Amino acid sequence: MTEAVQLCLIQEQFLVGDIKANARKIISQSHLAKQAGADIVIFPELALSGYPPEDLLMRQGFINQIEAAINEIAINTAGLIVVFGAPRLHQHELFNAAVVCSEGKVTGEYHKYSLPNYAVFDEKRYFQSGKEPLLIEIKQQKIGIIICEDAWFDEPVQKAKDAGAQAIVILNASPYHRNKHQQRLDMLRHRQKQAALPMFYLNLVGGQDELVFDGDSLVMNAQSELVGRGPDFEPALLHYQLHEDQSVTAVNTPFHQPESDLSNIYKALVTSVRDYVKGNGFNGVVIGLSGGVDSALTLAVAVDALGSDQVHAVMMPSRYTAQMSLDDAAAQADIMSVDYKVISIEPTFQVFLETLKDEFANTEVDTTEENIQARCRGVILMALSNKLGRMVLTTGNKSEMAVGYCTLYGDMAGGFAPLKDVEKLLVYALCDYRNSVKQVIPQRVLDRPPSAELREDQEDQDSLPDYAILDAILRMSVEEDKPRQQIIDAGYEQQTVDKILRMVQINEYKRRQAPPGVRITQRAFGRDRRYPITSGYRRG
């Protein structure tokens, strides 16, 4: 009987552009895998460059560093087979490649066949499509290599099988969004049943700007049984044996059960904040804590991501701030043991009003004065950020961003927006989830009507429809691209639908100037959804 092939899947994080550190990680993890008995060690898609490297791929110096690092990996991993993702330049054409190193040199290379060019992906901007399959032969078994999007189509897997593959390894950098776990699993089952081969699906972990990668690597045997599953949002060394009869067994590798939808969303937010703040060299964050639900969730995420010692919370009351808001903000800050200060904006606000009194003479008080208050807070937070070396996390949610219920250079001022893709009702659900783990958000914050507290007795619903209605319409319009009439036919009032669609359109200029935020849906504001600011189009 042929000896089983020992495969080790390295579910890891790799920082975009940090080629030397990524190469060191590939080498060190390969040595650990070898000590555990691995014959083949596999790393995710574009592990050496990080994903997505974007226009770094257009820099010759970047490509030169990649080539040097590939040689270093090959030399330092002799004695086993190492497969990792890297951009490769051949005859002036760039490929998204899986590089195979053994015996101290590069011994094989696969070029990604299916290049995604939709949603957050723009690989055709950089890469050429590959044409040929690649097989690794070891212990009388042949293992086919493909990359990410290839698994969603018939041809790449079929080409590998026709060439003699007895199992398929898939290198991935597949970003998270809600329901992505099930989509991947359904895809893999479909592909496996067509090919009737074991499948090893390895995914990246970690946050990268607006994207977050959740791991959830999958292993399926020739009978379509799921025999291996990696953890969500955590690095892991996943070790399996591939037997001659195409059965697959785990070696000291637990099967991780998938977590709940809310748990994964919350982990996505925590991972993104941690990796964005640390990846950009900040020693912590500053948050404007208002006593409301959005800033409460943002504070919880920040503490879970960075630790309470790296979070500075500031309550900035005005003449319109309720005592309840002051009490609830202080209570949460105390529960989460963060550095907490109260800095009134009233003196600053008064100076602005005095400075502008001649210009504002004979005019009515309106949103101008409300926005000045928000901008006073923005200036304070950014000043603290500059002085303390800590990034400002904004607290606005997707519902507000969609309709422009936010202030440029005010509550939109900051470095990262954790809730940018989280609709309002989901904010409440995530607060309930976090409190189910441990009560950190005062219940009164969740029970009281939301308010910006920028004028007397203000509530969000004075300016916006009920959030259940608003979120449903926004979901259909922004995330599902449903036409206006279809939304109305779903049971929503025409006047309300028209108002919301118009608000979404006219506030594109605000969203274009907003800080980046993590993507958790299939259609987030940012690189995922690109609309012109100046446009004569009216939604039909």
454 is in an annotated binding site: no
371 is in an annotated binding site: yes
- Does 148 qualify as catalytic in the annotation? yes
- Could you tell me if 317 and 326 are in contact, meaning their C-beta atoms sit under 8 angstroms apart? yes
Coil vs helix vs strand at 232: strand
- Could you tell me if 271 and 235 are in contact, meaning their C-beta atoms sit under 8 angstroms apart? no
d(CA 524, CA 478): 8
Dihedral of CA 362/366/368/373: which sign? positive
- Cis ω on the peptide bond leading into residue 44 (within 30° of 0)? no
Neighbours of 261 (CB within 10 A): 15
Marked catalytic residue, from 12, 101, 123, 148: 148
289 is in an annotated binding site: yes
126 is in an annotated binding site: no
Angle at 244 between CA 2 and CA 47, to 5 degrees: 105
Marked catalytic residue, from 25, 112, 161, 398: 112
d(CA 409, CA 412): 6
- Does 210 qualify as catalytic in the annotation? no
526 is in an annotated binding site: no
Coil vs helix vs strand at 28: helix
252 is in an annotated binding site: no
Coil vs helix vs strand at 516: coil
295 is in an annotated binding site: yes
260 is in an annotated binding site: no
107 is in an annotated binding site: no
In the block, which residue shows the tokens 């696969």?
A: 110
279 is in an annotated binding site: no
Q: Which residues pair with 108 in a beta bridge?
A: 100
Angle at 87 between CA 84 and CA 89, to 5 degrees: 130
290 is in an annotated binding site: yes
Coil vs helix vs strand at 215: strand
Marked catalytic residue, from 45, 109, 453, 479: 45
20 is in an annotated binding site: no
180 is in an annotated binding site: yes
d(CA 57, CA 89): 10
User: Is 278 exposed, middle or buried, given 0-12, 13-18 or 19+ CB atoms closer than 10 A?
Assistant: middle
DSSP secondary structure letter of residue 452 = -
Please tell me the number of Cα atoms within 13 Å of 51 on its side-chain side: 31
Cα of 182 vs its chain's centroid, Å: 17
510 is in an annotated binding site: yes
398 is in an annotated binding site: no
Pick the closest to residue 524 from 393, 440, 426, 398 (CA basis).
398
d(CA 28, CA 504): 49
- Does 142 qualify as catalytic in the annotation? no
Residues contributing to the annotated binding site? 118, 174, 180, 288-295, 371, 395, 400, 510
User: What residues act catalytically?
Assistant: 45, 112, 148
Residues contributing to the annotated binding site for L-glutamine? 118, 174, 180
Residues contributing to the annotated binding site for deamido-NAD(+)? 371, 400, 510
Residues contributing to the annotated binding site for ATP? 288-295, 395
